[in-house]
Every structure is written in C-alpha cells, then in structure tokens.
Structure 1
Amino acid sequence: MAPDTVGGGAVTLALGHASRWPRTPSVFVVKASLIGLLDRREPLTIVRGPRGYGKTSLVSHWVRSLPDEVSVVWVSGRTAPGDDAGPVPSLWDLVADSMVGSGLLQLPENGASGRTEVIHALASSQGETCLVVDDFDQVRDPRVEADLLDLLRRFPGLSLVLCMRDVASVETVLAATIDSVVIRPIDLLLDAQETYELAERLGFTLSGDDARALHLETAGWPALVRAILTNGASPHPGRSGIAIDLQAGEPFLQSVWTELTDRRMQRLIVRTAILDEFTAASAQLCSGLRDVGATLQLLVGSGLLMAERFQDAVVYRYAPAVRHACLDALRRQDPRQFRVVSRRAAQTHTAQGRSATALALLSRASLWEDVAQLVDAFWVELVAESPDEIAAAVAAMPSEVLERHARLVIARDHLLPLHKPAGDPADHSRSHVLDLAAVGPASVERREVFALPGVAEAMEQSLAQIAILRMTGDFMAARVVAERDHDAVLLQVEDLRNDVRDELAPVLHEWAVTRLLAADLPGALSAFREAAELAGEHHHPAIVREASVGAALACAMLGYLEPAEAWLAAAARAPVGYDQDPTADKIVATVRGIVALERIDIEAAVGAAAFDVPEEAGEFWALAAMIRAQVALFDGSHFRVLGEIEAARVDGGVPGLREALLVAASVDLNLAIGHFSRARTAIAGFPQSYEITGLARARTEYFSGEFARAVDVATRWLKTRIYAPANRLDFLLILTGAEHARGRRYEAAVALEEAVAISLATGLLRAFLKVPRATLRDLSTEVPRIAAILDREGLADAAELFPAPTASAQLSEREREVLESLATNASLAGVARSLYLSSNTVKTHLRSIYRKLGTHSSVETVERAWELGLISRPE
C-alpha cells in the first residue's frame, strides 16, 4: 500500500515523523492562546473553521513542539478520486496504515480489521499517542464517533485532535461526554495586530490604519488576508501606505464558493449579501426561503456568518469582503435575480426606517422607477438627512426616467447644490457678498454683508416648488421656465390657483421648522423668510410672526445681528388676533440674548442662557446646549453646563450632527478651564464633516500649541463654503493667532484684516476674546483697524475666554502616538508592539521627544505631556 494513497480513496498525509506531517506555511502567525489550548492535551480537541482559517497549519505547528515520547499519528478523512478497482478504506484502515509507518504497528495480518489492529497497537503502547484526524467532517461512517469515544475511555494515553469545517455531532454530543477543548472559527480569526504581522512577514509594511482596515474588511480570515495582499500588490519592505485592492481576494472566495454543495445555503448567501446586516426575517424575505433558521445556524457555525444579539433580535453580517464578492457574483451571473433581491432588501430597510440605505440599494440595481417612488414617499426625510444619496441617484439616472418625476427634477436643478457635503471646495463662480435682502426682511435697507454665497435664491425657488408639488401633486401646475442666466432658474407661479398660493406659506413654514430642528440654519433662514413674505401677502398673521421669529433665531446663530433684530421687529409688527405661541416669546428672548452676547453686552445676554428645549428635540436641543456653553464662558458656569453636555453624550456617540454640536461645546468648555487633554480626547477621532467640529479641532490644536496643525485645519476650512459669518470669523482669528505664533506676521495680518472686515460688517465682537489680546495688538501696525475694535465698549474690559496657548513642542504624528503608548505601557518593547514598530525606531522617536520637551526619562516625559495637554491623563 502506497504511503500517500490508500486503494484510490483517502490520502494519508503523514506518517510518524515530522517530515511527513502537513507543511506549516513559512509565513504563519502563531496564536499563543490557541497553542495554550492545544497544550492542555485534553482527551478530545476539536478545531473547527472554514477553509483558509488555518486549522491544519495550527495543529501541524503544534505537533512539532510535542515531546519525542508522544507518538503522533496524522490522517485525513478527505477522499481522493474514486478507483473502481477496490473499496475505499475506512478511517481505521488509514489510522492502522499510519501506525505502521510510525513504527507503532507491524504490518497487519491478512484478514485483520483496521480497528482491531489500532486497538492492539494502543494496548501495547508504553507511551502517549496523539491521533490527528484532519477533514474529519469528510468521514461518512456513522459508527466512527462511538468508536472514538470508546477508544478515549479505554486508553488514558490517547488524545484525539479533530479538524473540521462544519459543525458535527462530534462537537455537540461527543464533546459533552468527555473532557474536551473546542477551538471555533472566531478563535482562529486574526486580530488587527496579527493581520499586521502576517502582512509584514509577506513583505508588506502596513500603517496601523491600513492594517485595521484590512482586518475589518476580511474579519481576520487568514487565507483571505493572504489572497488580498499577494494578489493585489507587490511587497515594498520598509514602505507603508500601499494601496490595498480588496477585489484581489475574489479568486480565493470563488474557490471557497465552489466547494459549497448545499444549494440552499448558496441561495441564502447570495441573496442576503445585498444587506450589510440582517435578521432571520430579513433573510427569509430576501431569499424567498420558508425556513432559514437552520441554514443561518450552519453558516454561523462554519464561520462564514457572524451573529450578534441586540435586545430581543439576532443580527447577522458577513465580512465586508465576502459580502462584496457574493454581491458581484450575483450581479454578473443573474442580473434579474439581483434586481429582485435588491428590491426586497430595499423593502426591508424601508420598513426599518432606513430609507437612505434603501435608496442606495435601488440605485445600485438601476431600479430607477423604484427610486422615484421612494423619493416621492420619503422626500422630506431624504432631503433633510441624506442629500448625498439623492445626488448619487440623480447623477446615475437616465434622463428619460428622471424627467418624468418632479421631485427628482427639483433635486437635479435646485435643491442639491445647496447640500454639498461640508468641506467641499467653495463655488468661486459666485460672489461671496450678498445684500441684506438675502437674510433680512424685505423692508431692511440694502447694504453689503459677508453672507451666504448664492444660497437664498436657489433655496427659495426650490422650497416654492416643493410646496406647490405637495399641495397640488401636479408638476405641470408649477411651470418651470429654465432661463439659466448666471445660474438663475426662475420659477413661474403666477398661473397657480389662488387657493393653492394661499396654502404655500403654511407649507413653507412647516419645511422651515423641519430645517431648524435639523440644525440646518441656512436652509431654515431662507425658508422662514419666504414663508413670512407669502404669509403677509395672504393674510396669515400667525405664520408671519412665527416665521419672523424663526428667521431671527437662524440669523442670530449664523452671526447676522442686524438682520436678526430686523426680523424681531417684523414679528412685533405682525397683526394680533390669534393665540400667540408662548414658545415664540422664549425664542425672542433667546435671540436678543445671543445678539447681546456677540456684542459683549453681558447683562443683556441672560436670555441666551435661558434657551432650553426638551432633550428629545435632538439637534435643536444640542443647539440650545451649545448656546448655553457659550454663555458659560462668560458667567463661570463651565462645570455645570459641561456636566449636562457630558451626561447627554453618554448614550450618544453616533457621529451625527447632534453629537457634533455637543462635542464642539465640550471642547470650548474644556479649553476654557485648561483641560487641554480632555478637549483633545473629545474631538479625537470625530469625523470632520461639520464646520463646528472643524472649528473645535482648529481651536484645540491652537491652544495645545500645535500651531502648524491649527493653520492646516483652519486654512482647509476657509477654502470651503462657510455659510455662517460667525464661524468664518472664528476660523480667521485662530489662523491669525497660529500664524503669529509661528512668526509668520504677513500671513497673520492677512487673516486678521479679513476678520476685521467681517466684524465691521456684522457687528460680531465676541470672537476677538477667543485669541490673546496681546497677539492682536501686536499686529496693529499691519492692521490698524484692529485697535479700534479692541477698544470698543465691552470688549476692552472683558476677560479673555481661554488661557493663553501653551508653548508645547511641535510633535509629529508618530511622536504623539509613541507618547500616548508610553503612558500606558511599562516598557519600550510594549510601545513597539502596540505601534508595530521596532525598538530602535521607538528609541529614535523618544530621543526627539525628550529634546522637544526638555525631559530626560520616560516617567518625566509622560508627566510633562500631561501638564501640556499633549496626551490624556488616565481617569
């Protein structure tokens, strides 16, 4: 009998010595925790995981470390192509044959069964024997499990290691009757550091972020990590930041896919891959299968699917790379079914209140009529929360479909330009100067201010169209004449029925309130303005007053002080004769308080501090909290307001607008009381997609002494479309202070000159208390007008709101990472491991840090970093 093939059936992979055991990959990450489990040498050890999870490599590596007195017998249950010349040998024949090769058993006599010979060999053995059965789930003999249990009970010196891909009764039944260890798929997965180590051994030096991204996309599947790296790029030892092609892993995933013989499982996988996460009910809807519970459990057991329990439901998800590969396969192989599955998945997400996700799914499947229906049904929600998804759909949609649907035409021509993501380059084709008619009531005298670039005209036209459509349902009633002269589109509504026009003001006011509650101040301002004017024309005094008050609040928070006062005056002129909303009176007091605060009239600013709404109001409550935080900088109530904000953030953490507002308020309060490290912790890792968080980041860098970083952040944001003069003024003054601290007087003076111009146009003064007065006075030679501003009543005697910036060292990003790791690791080796660096590299960074901080030891360095706010002190 040949050593590698028995009768044309199964393969005997190894005999008794290491040279005949399966080869351990030269590039292999050893998981010490798993080696420890194997070292326990329980009577039964089960190692289960899909193909490519490293089961065989792990056990092969481990058996090589066993003492010489332990005899290892290794066989595989996987069968080779059949041979009609003879029967396929049983598992016991394979084990007996391996024992012969290892010297544990003499050649069996004719007629003796393999099981009998194995029992004889074990009974006569004086030492310990470890039997490894790879691919155990390929063994089809139903009696094997009972026979194995019998052997384990009869021979104390025998230990059994079974490697398998799928859940079998040996794990659920046999392991429950005897001492055992079970290593499951989740145990075999690599963590982020092990992913980094594997890449490094393959010749790729990844950055920490790249390693974490690769781990996230693959869920730590070892063979998939290998496939993506080795198929997608060439290694560059010593170079980081390589581009990782996740599609490079698809050939490996396809090979795994071909081994799935269960067609029901295949169907479930491809039809649920459309979903980023799903429940059993969602899987049933998308797959069309009646009972998916057992299949889901098999997928979870095999490691292809991950499950987490949230409250009363179990949520399933695939590794992103697996999901994308299955999705592409379905799109290529069965486009019709791909559309069916996409439609079902969209229905599932819509039922869960995730209309934006549903929109993306329908767009990806080119189901354009479904897209139009979804936009019609969830228009307000999608425009308010997911304008980018609508933009993507409109950009890809065929024009013949788009032009049959009114709201999509609106999105294409009018509304979407106003919802460019924060941070996009500004539209320099438009003027940055508008007159007060764009923000104040029509009766206000026109004069130039630093205002919203091009927002008012387009938003007002869009809102009018929205209102008409909602009232009539007939797009033709709102004839649009496309006269594109200087990007202006004129909406013709003169031929609308009078009763419809009479209802435009209430609809626009409704929209304006929605925008205000979503903290979209520019959108709210334009909508309130239009609603107030229409309400005046059609005799809705209640809406005139409420819309005027809403416009006043939006103006005040954006930094338009005179228009805010003009709107309050318009509200006061509104005819009486209806029950006035008491909330409006509260907002009137708040607006007056904000205006007084910006003009540094502290006694009159008490109304701003009283601005409070129920926390259930979401973003609107966060706006109110942010205003109270600004008042706290003057009245000394820092800790009380900070406590309220931090308590509100406990259950949050989602990087949306509400959390962004609270983070920005927390940063200002922490900086004001000198807690630089806490301010940095609050803003660290938060997406910089909002002006307010960009401002918080720039201010934190400035007051922490990281002047170059402050300049970078402020400069990047100043190149974008900033709708609020108050925010632009803040960015300019941070840029002024940071450039001055770097010795760049010319750049500082240019920024300060623009800041002064904004202040003179709007009356904003409070921002000048957020940078050291000495810095501003020092630039009065280059910017003479700053002296007059600093000497104004209120500003001249007011205290600065923040401590002077610390003259901290200008640490590089890597030096800061080393410093943060040093604070939590007791040794240089620990720092090196945590950052995936060599010890010599860590020492080089430390020498640079010592020099910059003027310290001489790691302990002294960490203490100094805490004092300067460069790193967070442990709680």
Structure 2
Amino acid sequence: MPKTAPVSGRVGAAAHLGPGGDPLLAAKFSVPEVPRAFIRRQRLLDRLTEGTAGPLTLITGPAGAGKTTLAAAWARQRTAPGPVVWLTAEYDDRAPGVFWAYVLEALGHHEVVLPEAVGQPRSADVADHSLLARIASALAHLRRPVVLVIDGLEQVPVRAVASGLDFVLNHAEPQLRLVLISRVDPLLPLHRYRADGRIHEIRSADLAFTRQETARLLRGHGLARYEESADALVARTGGWAAGLRLCALEMQRADNPAGFARTFAASQSAVADYLLTEVFAAQSAATQDLLMRSSILDRVHPDLANALTGREDAEWILAELTRAHVFVEPIDATPWCRFQPLFAEVLRMHLRHHRPGLEACLRRRAASWLADSGRLAEAVEQAATAGDWEWACTRMVHRLEIGRLLTGPEAHRLERIFSGMPGDLAGAEPALVTGACALAQHDTARSRARLDRAEEEMHQPGARPSPEARLALSLLRLLAAPDAQGGDSVSRSAQPTRELAEPVPRPLAEAHPEIEGLRRYGLACALEGAGRPDAARRAFTYALAGCTGEVTQALRHHCLGRLALMESQHGALSQAEEHARLALEVAGHRSVPPTRRSGMGHLALAAVAFERGELPDAGHHLDLAAASPDAGHDPVLDADIAVTRSRLDLAHGHWQAALMAVEAGRTHAGPLAAWPAQRLALACSAAHLARGDPASAIAVLNEAGPGGSAHTLALAQARLAAGDLAGALGLLAPLDRRQDAGIAEFVRIRLLQARAATLTRDTRRAHGLLRDALAAAHPERMRRPFTEAGPWVRHLLEQLPDLATEHAWLTARPGVGKDTLRTDGCPPDFVIVERLTDREREVLRHGAEMMSTQEIAEAMYLSANTVKTHLRSVYRKLAVSRRSDAVRRARELRLI
C-alpha cells in the first residue's frame, strides 16, 4: 500500500488556500446544528440510511422544507455506513477548480485520508480529467465507505461540476456514497440512475409534515392544548416545515392560538417575510411579475399566464419554477400547475400592496380566457371575486350557458357561486340567472318571481333583448311552471321555446345541447303534471334521446328515473326496472354531483318490487328514495313516495297508517298539479276500501274529479265493493275498448270483470277473464293485483289446477307471507319454467362465472344488447329480477 496523507498535508488544517489563492473556509465543512425544537421524523431518517446503502441519495425541496436539518440530524445519529463528510456549497464555488478544492479539503477536514499523489486543482476554472480520475481511484481504494454530503448544490449550476461528480461517483463505487441536497434537480443524468436503480430520492412531498408530525411540533412549542389545530395548519401550509414552525411561533404569541391557527393570514404572519425574502426576492423581475399576476388563480396554465402578463415566455418560466421547487408544482401530466396556498396568498398580498387596483382587472381578463376555454365555473368565480356580476350574468345568458346551472358537472358549483350575488342588481340577465338558480333549488315560486322581473326588464322602453335572452326566459318558464290543465295547452306552452330557439346561431345552439334537452324534459314534466301519462312517457323517451354528451348526464339521469316511474305505473315492469337501474348507474357519473341526484330511480324500483310482491325490496328502495336530495322538493316524487308507502302499509294490513301516509303526502307536498293529486286520491281511496268503507272511497274519488283511466278504474272498483255492479261494469266498458291500455290497467280491468262474473255466478266467464289477466301479468311477474283482488282469486284457481300449475310463478318467492297466494298441489318454493334455449343457458353459464355483460358478449360474439335481451328472457322464465337469483334458481333446477 502506498503511503497516504491528507491532501493538505495536515489533518484539520484551517488556513489552506484554493486554486485562486483565496482561503478555503473551514465553516463550510461543519455539520449544521440541529434546532432545539427539531422534530425527529424517523420515517425520513430511515430513508436516508437506506439511501446511503447505495451510491446516490437526492434530497430536493423548496426553501424551508427541512432538507438540511434532516440531513444534519441523520449525520449526527451515526447510522451512516462510514464517515460523513459535509460540504456546504455556495455561489462562489461554481468554478470547477474551486468546487473540487473544497471537496478535497472537506475530505481532509473529516479525516478521510487520500494519497498526496491525488494533488489539487491547478486552476480555479478547470478541474482536469486526470485530477478527477485520481480522486475516484483514491476513494475506490478506501477501506470503508465514505458518505459525502453536498448541501446547497443549486448554488453551483455548472454542467462541468455535475459531470465531474457523475464521473467520480461512477468510478469510486462502492466506497463513495453521495448525498446531494438541492432546491432543484442537479444536472446529473438522473434518468440513468433511476433506470439502474442506483438512486434514492426524498422529494418535497416526502418532506411535508404529516398531521401527526405537526401535532408533535405543536407539543414541542408548548402548544399541546391546541393539537386539534394540526389539520388546519397542514391544509394551510401544505406541510411546509418552515411555515409550520413560523406559525407555531406566532401561536405562542397569540391571545387565541386556536383561532390564529384557523384564520391566520399570510399578511399578518412571519411566513410572509420568509417567503418574500427567501423565495420571491430571489427571482428575476419578469418572474416576479408573472408570480404576482398569476397568484389570483387556483391553477395556472402557461397560455393564461401569458394573457395576464402580456408576454409569451410563461411556459418556460413556470417550468423553471417547477424544476426549482419554488412552491409551484405541476398538476398530473398536464400543462397546468398550482401555487402552494400560503405562497399564493403572500403573492396576492404583495400584488394588492404594490399594484392597487390591478387585481380586479386581472380577474376579468382571466374570466374571459377561462370561459372561452370551456372552464365556465372557474371563469364565473374570477368574475365574482372581482365583483363583476354583470359580466358573469351576461355571459351566462348571451352565450346560452344558463342551462349549465341546471345540468352538467359544474351546475352545483355555478349555483353556489351565484348564491353570493347581490339581489338588487338591475337588468334582465341577473334576474334570469337568479331564476335559474332558484329553479335548481326546487324553489319554483321564487323562480317565477325572478322570471317575472326579467320579463319586465325586457319590456322596458328601448330594451332590445337578444334571442338568447328571450329563449332563456321561455325555457325557464316552461321548467318552472309546467301546465297542469291538460289538453293541448301543454304542447302550446312548449311551442314558444321551440320557436325562440330558431333565431339563435346554429353553432351556438349546437355547442349547448342541454338547451334542447331541457326543453324536451320540461315538456315531458308538463305532460306528466297535467295527468297525461301516455303522452308523458313518449315525451320522456324523446327527451332521453336528446341527452347527449357529458353536460346532459344529469338531465339523462332525471329522464330515466321519471320514465321508469311512469313505466312501472303502466305495468311495463321489466322496462321500468331496466331504466331505473340505468338511472342509478348514470347517477354515479361525475357529471351528476350527489346534490343533483334524484330519488326517482329508487322509487321506480320500489314500485316494481311492490307489484311483484317483493315487499322487503320495495321498502328498501322506498327508504332510499325518501332520503334522496330532491325528496321534499319535487311534488311528483313526494306524492308517489307517499302513495308507495301507503300501499306498503296496506299490504301489511295497516289501513290507518296507509291513510296517514296519504295525508302526510298531501300536507308535505303543498299545492299539487293534476297528476300527483290524482295519485294521492287513488291511494286514499284504496285505503278506505281496505277498511271496508267504499262510500268514503267513492267520495274521495268524486272530490278529486275526473283523472283519466286510473281514476275511472278505481271508481269502478269502489262501486263494485259498494254493491253497484251495473255502475261498475258501466265504468269498465269504455276502458275495455282502449287500444293503448297498459298492462297494469288491463290486468286490473280483467280482475274486476272476473269478480263481477263470480258475483253473477258466471263461472265460465270468470275463469276466462282470470286466464287473460294471468297471461298478461305473467311476463312481468305482476303478483300484486291478484293479492289485492281478494280470496276469490284463490278459489277460482282451486277450480282450475292446470291454470294454477301453469302460473305457479305467483307463489315462486321464498318465505311466503300472508299476502302471497297458495294453490293446491303447488308448493310455494317450486317454479315451473319455460324451457331455456341453448343460447340462454350459455349466457347464464357465463353469468355464473361473474362475467360482465360486455365480457359475455365478447365471449359469444354477440352484441351487448343481444346479451341483455337473452338475460331478460331468462329472468322472465325463471321468475327472478337479478342475475344472482337467476343463477341460484337455475342451479336448483339443474339447468346449468
């Protein structure tokens, strides 16, 4: 072994000179002291120990992130694989020769002895390859590893220095372990180290204090009583170490520490001084200007920053700030970035102090850019913050964006923003926007009042309302006040909206499909409220076809739910179930915020389950409907919740509770349109019949007035119960001739006619009518009408064992209760099924393997719709409503 000695010739010598003749400062070799209030974060100390088992450890983060303190604490705990050599780099060390002179002196200072032959740099500006090779060779021959910590490497942004470090590290392994501390990524080829697995990185996100660590920091400052403030401090500072320490110091001096933690402002905190001096002041004038102007934004896009600054270099500046960890971080893999919240607040404070009046101008400029970029809610927020409500309302109306308050992913956010708008603003546009917001909140009375105000403004002398404003008024009127008079007036009420849409420029109309979707939906709701269910079903189907794109997903959700409810009342139970489940599926879409979801889908499923005799499922879905956001606000929904609850009470024999449910529905819903009022009257009539009071049932129906076929059918049932056979049959006769009667109506007509036939002892006719009712109800497994009809149905079936066997689906449900029919010779848990086709069995076998509909389609080379058709057929034949039940039942019957 060659004789070795320190490079300086004397270990620990303090007055050696660098290649330029200046003394090498020994203070730069000292491991920094750890603050007395240091919070030991073992998770990070362990990561440093783990990192120094390999060649390169990189600690990067913004100023005050705790990088140096962490490394110093780790160095002092003596868990390194060898001696720790510390070097604090400074701006004056950027010359390669000076830098390497300091590295060699640091090694000697910490008693890492290298051979004298290594030498020293000959020039301040150059560290030649020969010197670097000698350093690497000498380090590689050390008996134990050495950890070289270089702090502040961002002060030496010289490629020659970085390439030299890379060369020495690669040729001194495994004895050299390098720890680099920097605010920015060094110029080393980090990608190569990452690919080889030779680097361990501790980034700003890792350095951020957790909630638990913040609580310990508060305890360390004598603030143990205020640990509950840790969450607020972490949220406000982003876990930034320096910010948390400064806040803790401020809390120590505050009269109300907890209040300070909740509400502290950067302008009142030492945090502002730190950020302005350590971060902001270190930037160029152009960067400072960009930071100040962009601080008004939650998220910054380079093009938006250019619009605010009037320059074209924002992309480069933001990239540099991100790379330098100057409290600017990228958002995923997008051009957007965000400022750390406290830093943004300090910048806004600085903007207001040095450029008073500029903030409002910048926010208006940002609002225009954001709106034109399709970020309407962000644009309106900027305008609202600037107090420019006129711009926000004019934009919403004249760009035909007012429908976005009622449907779309930003609807709730827009409504919340406009809720802060002063109520005394003049002009039609603010009135229209306020009317739309009230409509979104189900406050139709307030909406109509604001729309009246808008109409007054539009008829002022000299007013020239735009086509878009007139269209908005007509559309909101349709949605806020659906016609309940029936006849052709409903269609006429939608006519102005359709006509007013024609003058609107086609590109603008095409950019807002929600306007036409809302018009169709408003027409359908008007038909529903007017008691025209057949026309309403067709209108909801038409409205559903107009719901295209993400912005109409909420509208599609509502259309599906209402359509499903009307289909369940019609008796198309399978179709109702499909649409209801699709409504719930659409509700999970991000375009439908939880506050805008409807209970109609669950209510339709409750109605379907009830008609099939599945009372527990009906009760479950009814409870979910009653807990939905629109319950208590939508008269149609509230009325049918009351109706379904009343029917469930009757099914369990509680006629008093059924009457109370109806009365509660009437009280809760307030003034009702024709259809929901009629539905409540029908439920009330049924409750009176259940308690044996047909006279009261007839009185309720007569008081409600004519209400279509459902009303007539209920009146016929009441008259039959009262013994007025001729009157009942007279009411049924015109209904029997209806060509478009629904399944539910047809089944109930046939059952009433069959009951009348039994009363006249026309048993043959009664059998035929019962057979017709069962055949119509079978595909939908509609059990409830037969249960409600009374025991005479069972008696008829006892006379027709073949018919009872053919329709054993009536008793197919497990756990038969008192409301379920029994037939002789047919145990309640036995199911007679139609033969499954080979294709249906194959679909069911795939379903048993937990394959999705799409996966089954791909496996069988079918379309997804064809698979759904097969599944519906399987469900019908097996008398079930879910795939899991179908699989279970098919296995019981050994079909698969």
Equivalent residue for 1:524? 478
Distance across 2 between alignment mates of 1:389 and 1:208: 33
Q: For the Cα contact (< 8 Å) 1:53–1:222, is it kept in 2?
A: yes
Unmatched 5+ stretches in structure 2 = 1-11, 17-21, 406-410, 497-501, 503-515, 611-618, 650-655, 705-709, 718-747, 749-782, 788-812, 814-896
Equivalent residue for 2:149? 132
- 1:129 to partner: Cα distance: 0.7
Name the aligned partner's letter for residue 130 of structure 1: V
- 1:242 to partner: Cα distance: 10
Equivalent residue for 1:287? 309
Name the aligned partner's letter for residue 615 of structure 1: C
Equivalences for residues 760-771 of structure 1 within 5 A: 762=673, 764=676
Equivalent residue for 2:88? 76
- 1:290 to partner: Cα distance: 2.7
- 1:93 to partner: Cα distance: 5.5
- C-alpha distance 162-26 of structure 1, shift in aligned 2 (>3 A): same
Equivalences for residues 600-749 of structure 1 within 5 A: 607=538, 610-611=541-542, 612-616=544-548, 618=552, 619-634=554-569, 635-637=572-574, 638-642=576-580, 644-645=582-583, 648=586, 652-656=589-593, 664-668=599-603, 703=623, 722=633, 724-727=634-637, 729=639
Q: For the Cα contact (< 8 Å) 2:87–2:106, is it kept in 1?
A: yes
Distance across 2 between alignment mates of 1:700 and 1:230: 55
- C-alpha distance 107-394 of structure 1, shift in aligned 2 (>3 A): farther
| Larger Rg computed on CA atoms | 2
1:401-448: per-residue Cα shift (whole Å, max 9, x none)? x77xx446x64xx86377349679x8xxxxxxxxxxxxxxxxxxxxxx
1:449-477: per-residue Cα shift (whole Å, max 9, x none)? xxx545545423423433x4xxxxxx543
Matched positions, count: 629
Equivalent residue for 2:337? 316
Distance across 1 between alignment mates of 2:354 and 2:519: 63
Name the aligned partner's letter for residue 477 of structure 1: G
- 1:323 to partner: Cα distance: 2.7
Name the aligned partner's letter for residue 361 of structure 1: Q
Name the aligned partner's letter for residue 112 of structure 2: L
- C-alpha distance 762-366 of structure 1, shift in aligned 2 (>3 A): closer
SS of the equivalent of 2:335 reads: strand
Unmatched 5+ stretches in structure 1 = 82-86, 427-451, 469-474, 479-499, 516-522, 527-550, 556-561, 575-579, 676-698, 740-745, 804-875
Correspondence 1:104 to 2:109: no
Distance across 2 between alignment mates of 1:107 and 1:214: 53
TM-score (norm 2): 0.54
Q: For the Cα contact (< 8 Å) 1:756–1:785, is it kept in 2?
A: no
Q: For the Cα contact (< 8 Å) 1:280–1:293, is it kept in 2?
A: yes
1:751-780: per-residue Cα shift (whole Å, max 9, x none)? 864533458965526877999999999999
- 1:284 to partner: Cα distance: 1.7
1:777-833: per-residue Cα shift (whole Å, max 9, x none)? 99999xx999969998659999599x9xxxxxxxxxxxxxxxxxxxxxxxxxxxxxx
SS of the equivalent of 1:314 reads: coil
SS of the equivalent of 2:545 reads: coil
- 1:130 to partner: Cα distance: 0.7
SS of the equivalent of 2:296 reads: coil
SS of the equivalent of 2:63 reads: coil
- C-alpha distance 268-667 of structure 1, shift in aligned 2 (>3 A): farther
Distance across 2 between alignment mates of 1:361 and 1:667: 38
Q: For the Cα contact (< 8 Å) 1:145–1:174, is it kept in 2?
A: no
Equivalences for residues 356-371 of structure 1 within 5 A: 356-365=377-386
- 1:251 to partner: Cα distance: 3.6
Name the aligned partner's letter for residue 161 of structure 2: V
Correspondence 1:563 to 2:485: yes
Equivalent residue for 2:297? 275
- 1:663 to partner: Cα distance: 5.6
- C-alpha distance 586-353 of structure 1, shift in aligned 2 (>3 A): closer
Q: For the Cα contact (< 8 Å) 1:228–1:248, is it kept in 2?
A: no
- 1:358 to partner: Cα distance: 3.3
Q: For the Cα contact (< 8 Å) 2:86–2:106, is it kept in 1?
A: yes
Correspondence 1:594 to 2:617: no
- C-alpha distance 68-279 of structure 1, shift in aligned 2 (>3 A): closer
- C-alpha distance 93-623 of structure 1, shift in aligned 2 (>3 A): same
Distance across 1 between alignment mates of 2:82 and 2:682: 74
Distance across 1 between alignment mates of 2:474 and 2:42: 59
Equivalent residue for 1:155? 172
Equivalent residue for 1:41? 53
1:511-557: per-residue Cα shift (whole Å, max 9, x none)? 35643xxxxxxx4256xxxxxxxxxxxxxxxxxxxxxxxx6xx34xx
Equivalent residue for 2:472? 511
Q: Which is richer in helix? A: 2
- 1:133 to partner: Cα distance: 1.0
- C-alpha distance 154-185 of structure 1, shift in aligned 2 (>3 A): closer
Higher RCO (Cα < 8 Å, 6 or more apart)? 1
Equivalent residue for 1:872? none
- 1:309 to partner: Cα distance: 6.0
Q: For the Cα contact (< 8 Å) 2:146–2:176, is it kept in 1?
A: yes
Equivalent residue for 2:68? 56
Once the two structures are overlaid, the 10-residue window that deviates more, 202-211 or 724-733, is 202-211
Equivalent residue for 1:202? 218
1:351-374: per-residue Cα shift (whole Å, max 9, x none)? 214455334434534568867875
1:639-676: per-residue Cα shift (whole Å, max 9, x none)? 422453366457x41345xx76666445446667899x
- 1:173 to partner: Cα distance: 8.6
- 1:49 to partner: Cα distance: 1.4
Name the aligned partner's letter for residue 259 of structure 1: E
- 1:337 to partner: Cα distance: 3.8
Distance across 1 between alignment mates of 2:314 and 2:161: 30
Q: For the Cα contact (< 8 Å) 1:331–1:338, is it kept in 2?
A: yes
Equivalent residue for 2:828? none
Equivalent residue for 2:161? 144
- C-alpha distance 254-726 of structure 1, shift in aligned 2 (>3 A): farther
Name the aligned partner's letter for residue 755 of structure 1: G
- C-alpha distance 358-605 of structure 1, shift in aligned 2 (>3 A): closer
The counterpart of 1:298, out of the listed 320, 330, 333, is 320
- C-alpha distance 274-749 of structure 1, shift in aligned 2 (>3 A): farther
Equivalences for residues 530-549 of structure 1 within 5 A: none
- 1:377 to partner: Cα distance: 5.1
The counterpart of 2:288, out of the listed 266, 274, 288, is 266
Q: For the Cα contact (< 8 Å) 1:24–1:61, is it kept in 2?
A: no
Q: For the Cα contact (< 8 Å) 2:33–2:72, is it kept in 1?
A: yes
1:257-299: per-residue Cα shift (whole Å, max 9, x none)? 3234222322222222222223322222222233233222212
Distance across 2 between alignment mates of 1:259 and 1:97: 29
- C-alpha distance 173-454 of structure 1, shift in aligned 2 (>3 A): closer
- C-alpha distance 730-585 of structure 1, shift in aligned 2 (>3 A): closer
Distance across 2 between alignment mates of 1:360 and 1:588: 29
1:9-68: per-residue Cα shift (whole Å, max 9, x none)? 6843645xxxx6645964354546981794363222222211233323443455466646
Q: For the Cα contact (< 8 Å) 2:563–2:579, is it kept in 1?
A: yes
- C-alpha distance 25-181 of structure 1, shift in aligned 2 (>3 A): farther
Q: For the Cα contact (< 8 Å) 1:388–1:420, is it kept in 2?
A: no
Q: For the Cα contact (< 8 Å) 2:66–2:241, is it kept in 1?
A: yes
SS of the equivalent of 1:70 reads: coil
Report sequence identity in percent.
Answer: 17
Name the aligned partner's letter for residue 136 of structure 1: L
Correspondence 1:756 to 2:656: no
- C-alpha distance 47-734 of structure 1, shift in aligned 2 (>3 A): farther
TM-score (norm 1): 0.55
Equivalent residue for 1:247? 265
Q: For the Cα contact (< 8 Å) 1:48–1:185, is it kept in 2?
A: yes
